[in-house]
Structure 1
Amino acid sequence: MASSHKLTPVKTLRSQARKHIEQGAVTAGYSADRPKVLKMLNEALATEIVCVLRYRRHHFMARGIHGQSVGAEFLVHSNEEQGHADLLAARIVQLGGEPDFSPDSLSERSHAEYLPGKTLSDMIRENLVAERIAIDSYRDMIRYLGDQDPTTSDLLKQILAVEEEHADELADLLEGMPTDKV
């Protein structure tokens, strides 16, 4: 079924493209609240950076019979979270904003917490909790954006899919993991 939305005449597209060219990717057709989207993306960036740091610590601190294999998985997740952070930072710049990498306010802006965990099962649990927070945060952001910013929405959906994979992998690792072993 065809959409009832009419296409913008080419002459109008050409005219609009010449206006405010310094805004780059942000054209007259961008209908989202840009300052709110930039704030939201910077919070997501902070969340990803906190996750990178927590996973990286856990990679080095993983001990015990499963420590090597679980630690290797933490490293993979850390690297993937860094990739998410890079994608978010690039989108922030595309939208005319500045990615906030300030360590001073990182934990305040992050939706996830940085909890070190003492045992391997604690580490897995903390990472799983953080992934579940990220999943719900990304879902909220995607719903908020609706169809106002399809590029950002698609980016967040791409990241969400990986976060769901992480949560599934961590839940599998947690299954049968003794709670009192390091």
Structure 2
Amino acid sequence: MKPSKSQTATANAAILSDIQTLRKRARKNIEEGAVTKGYGADRKEVIRLLNEALATELVCVLRYKRHYFMAKGIHSDSVKAEFLVHANEEMAHADRLAKRITELGGEPNFSPDGLSDRSHAEYVEGNTLHSMIKENLIAERIAIESYREMIIYLGEHDPTTQRMLKEILTVEEEHAEDMASLLASMKP
């Protein structure tokens, strides 16, 4: 049986804190910054996942940049331009992830040591324009699945991180579509 509107309103009101309680809680544990008692996720695990996503984005930046500089052939100018746009967008994702990690009280891991081990995507150079596009598409598909899993894992426990990941996921899906279109246009 579905609760009435008044029952729902009463239940929702029980969740709300009075002003004095909010003020008192805000003064406790202020060294934790934005992370309050109401934060429902496992912060250490979220930071670990975000550092893996950061590594993935950094590997993607490096791969797209290499492909940008190494792309050759009659169709390379437009593809190179796409690689550069994607590299810049992936770097913006890395910056957002690093910022969120620090907001959660963690440290973003930019160390090159173990970068490819922390990354979900691989760094595959590719030696032809076709293979470069293919490897970028594979990496985008990996990123898409990774972000979807993280979004599900977070559920309602960290809506801020979840929203950021959804925004990044949207761009990753656009990247994958771009790469799939480029790959399809290169078929004989």
**TM-score under structure 1 length normalisation:** 0.95
Alignment of 1:73 onto 2:72: no
Taking every aligned residue pair, what percent have the same amino acid on both sides? 65
Alignment of 1:10 onto 2:19: yes
Structure 1 residue runs of 5 or longer lacking an equivalent are none
Alignment of 1:105 onto 2:97: no
RMSD of equivalent CA atoms: 1.2
Report the structure number with the largest CA radius of gyration.
2
**Partners of 1:107 and 1:113 within 8 A in 2:** yes
Q: Distance in 1 between the 2:140 and 2:110 partners?
A: 20
Aligned length: 179
Structure 2 residue runs of 5 or longer lacking an equivalent are none
- Specify which of 53, 68, 91 is matched with residue 100 of structure 2: 91
Deviations for 1:26-66, whole angstroms, at most 9, x for unmatched residues? Answer: 11111100000000000000000000000000000111111
- Specify which of 24, 29, 52 is matched with residue 33 of structure 2: 24
- Name the one with the larger helix percent: 2
Q: How does 1:46-61 map to 2 (within 5 A)?
A: 46-61=55-70
Deviating 4+ runs (over 6 angstroms): none
Q: Distance in 2 between the 1:157 and 1:10 partners?
A: 32
One-letter identity of the residue aligned with 1:109: R
Who is 2:160 aligned against? 151
Q: How much does 1:7 deviate?
A: 1.3
- Specify which of 129, 132, 147 is matched with residue 123 of structure 1: 132
Q: How much does 1:178 deviate?
A: 4.4
Q: How much does 1:12 deviate?
A: 1.2
Q: Distance in 1 between the 2:153 and 2:132 partners?
A: 31
